[in-house]
Amino acid sequence: MFICSVKGNTLKLFGLVAIAVVAVMIIIIAVPSADAVETGSIFEGETISYDKVKTDASRRDFLSQFGWKTGDACIEEVEVQIPKDFDKVMNAYNDIQKAQGLDLSKYKGKTVQRYTYEITNYPEYNGTVYANVIIYKNRVIGGDLCSSDIRGFIHGFESDTPAPAK
């Protein structure tokens, strides 16, 4: 004959462990992973998708979500490395990214692709405007719109994204 006795403290311990396991499972299910679709609001009720940007057409579609029209072809496609240490210029550029809900500091030291397009419908500006789209693993992680003029402008994908203070 086998007899097993359980004390009240042991039951409390098993109860706490069971509650902790259930809580961890709820957190895992409820909290999206870091690779989940990241969206931001551009206009009330509309969202922007930053994922699944694999082709020239998908990059153009990404820019069109902000209302931008591009020229016929990608002007430049280049592989760049995000610096491991940000200097003053890189911190200012990352401030533009943060203002649009992105952050390049998560990608320090990573090699990424930068695609440049000419914007053909920029309002109230006669010069050439370029859109730079920075992609890592088919996901837009940063970018900007800028003029080709030396005294021009640079801002995020939305025209009202603030430029860094000088």
Whether 12 maps to a domain, the answer reads no
The two beta strands, 129-136 and 139-147, are antiparallel
The two beta strands, 111-119 and 76-81, are antiparallel
Whether 111 maps to a domain, the answer reads yes
Q: With CA atoms as reference, report the closest residue to 105 among 91, 115, 119, 120.
A: 91
Whether 7 maps to a domain, the answer reads no
pLDDT category, 40, cuts 50, 70, 90?
Answer: very low
- Cα angle value 11/14/18 (rounded, 5°): 135
Longest dimension (CA), the chain: 94
Whether 4 maps to a domain, the answer reads no
pLDDT category, 27, cuts 50, 70, 90?
Answer: low
Whether 11 maps to a domain, the answer reads no
Q: With CA atoms as reference, report the closest residue to 91 among 80, 81, 104.
A: 104
Q: How far is 147 from 129, CA to CA, in rounded Å?
A: 4
Encode pLDDT of 122-160 as tens digits.
998 889 999 999 999 999 999 999 998 888 899 999 876
Residue 143 is part of which domain span?
A: 39-155
Average pLDDT score over residue span 100-119: 95
pLDDT of residue 131: 95
Q: Is 7 helix (H, G, I), strand (E, B) or coil?
A: coil
Q: How many domains does the chain have?
A: 1
Q: Is 52's pLDDT higher than 60?
A: yes
Q: How far is 112 from 59, CA to CA, in rounded Å?
A: 15
Whether 141 maps to a domain, the answer reads yes
Whether 14 maps to a domain, the answer reads no
Whether 32 maps to a domain, the answer reads no
Which residue would you say has higher pLDDT here, 29 or 103? Answer: 103
- The average confidence (pLDDT) of the chain is 80
Average pLDDT score over residue span 28-39: 47
